[in-house]
Structure 1
Amino acid sequence: MHDNQPRTIAPDDLPEVLTRYLTAHRAHDTATALTTFTDDATVIDDGHTYLGSTAIERWLDRSATEFTYTIRLTNAQQTDTAHYIATHHLEGNFPGGSIDLHYRFTLRDNLIAHLAIEP
């Protein structure tokens, strides 16, 4: 738990590794997206936890092909030097058709050590 409240920042102020991940994810570029994670990273998405490079690679491949959608960065926040939140608006052919998702990042050594995606 953090005592610091997240503060809004300009999307351009997100760390380079997060911008690289988000750009690769939008482009369905699994190879580039994977380079932004630590070897022991965890991703939590849709109630599932993916631990390590192999599991995250499978998650990236599946999330790129499961649905067709547009994604737009609508907000960026920073809690401290290691914790960031990027809020995205998605519209597509998934159940519900549109949703705002919060991508909660924890960085370690300029890489993503943890990512939790939640409404």
Structure 2
Amino acid sequence: MNLPKVIAELVTSQNEFDSAAYADLFAENAQVSDEGKKHDGKAEIEKWIDKSKTDYKATMEPLNYDEKEDILSAKIAGSFPGSPLILKFHFKIADGKIQNLKVTG
């Protein structure tokens, strides 16, 4: 599967539980929507992924990438009810950084 560099790096940082590297892939004013909550800005995104890493120890296995829509389907496995789950990651990318990420079921 041919993933854009920033998405491939997101998968790697997720699987290595590297919250700082994960957050560095986002623009300063980026926004993430996940589990009904919004996380605004790089610092808040790092806190969100760090808490998620601690709480769920989730890993990501890419299954499909829709290049036209910038949507990654991935199997997420970790210490949460219903694991593993297939989730969709809807990206908006500009200048090599993630501007917006919405996670859906």
Give the TM-score normalised by the residue count of structure 1: 0.81
- Of the three residues 20, 29, 44, the one matched with 1:31 is 20
Corresponding residue SS for 2:82: coil
Match of 1:106 among 73, 92, 101: 92
Q: Does 1:95 align with 2:81?
A: yes
Distance 1:31 1:98 in 2: 24
**1:20 lines up with 2:24 in the alignment:** no
Task: Within 5 Å, give how 1:42-53 maps onto structure 2.
Answer: 42-53=31-42
Gaps (5+ residues) in structure 1?
A: 1-10
Gaps of 5+ in 2: none
Cα deviation, residue 69, structure 1: 4.0
Percent of aligned positions that are identical: 29
Query: In proportion to residue count, which structure has more strand?
Result: 1
Moved more, 40-49 or 68-77: 68-77
Greater alpha carbon shift after TM alignment, 87-96 vs 30-39: 87-96
- RMSD across aligned C-alpha pairs, in angstroms? 1.4
Q: What are the superposed Cα offsets for residues 41-95 of structure 1, whole Å, 9 maximum, x if unpaired?
A: 000011100000111010110111111344311111112xxx4111111233312
CA distance in 1, matches of 2:84, 2:26: 27
Number of positions where the alignment pairs a residue of Structure 1 with one of Structure 2: 105
